[in-house]
Amino acid sequence: MRCRGQTALRLRVLNEAASGKPIGVQWTMIFGIMFLGILLLATPVSATKGVQHVVGTVTAIDHKHIEVKTPNRTVPVSVILTKSVQFKNKTSPASTNRPDIGDRVIIEAIKDNKKLVATIVYYSAIRQAPSTPQ
């Protein structure tokens, strides 16, 4: 009686003989192609090097800066706002309004002289509770 291992080994030998290449070379080619695919997908991500994200809730905002309370810090993070910063409201994409205190934000910022300068501020306004008629 033959065991399964012998049958599998015999099939492997037959496959190697039929293809003209050892199976090890085929697997090397497969992994090489997969590696190149991963490199191609990772290339655009490296283009955003230097961009930092600040995620949290707005605690203060004016025309020059925004302070965000993040979940992992006790002190709010201060981010400088310039005239070129874009504000994008999740619920109203055409809106150019600034977020209010209490709104959730994701800020894309770059570091300039050890200070964060915002490039894009994505925010979601606080949902207002529907008013009930009296």
Q: Give yes or no for residue 57 having a pLDDT over 80.
A: yes
Cα–Cα distance, 99 to 57 (Å, whole number): 10
pTM over 0.85: no
Q: Give yes or no for residue 45 having a pLDDT over 60.
A: no
Cβ contact 61:98 at 8 Å: yes
Does CATH number 2.40.50.320 belong to domain 51-124? yes
pLDDT tens for 10-29 read 666 666 666 665 556 676 77
4 band by pLDDT with thresholds 50, 70 and 90: low
Give the position of tokens 């800066």. Answer: 65
Q: Give yes or no for residue 2 having a pLDDT over 60.
A: no
Cα–Cα distance, 108 to 46 (Å, whole number): 15
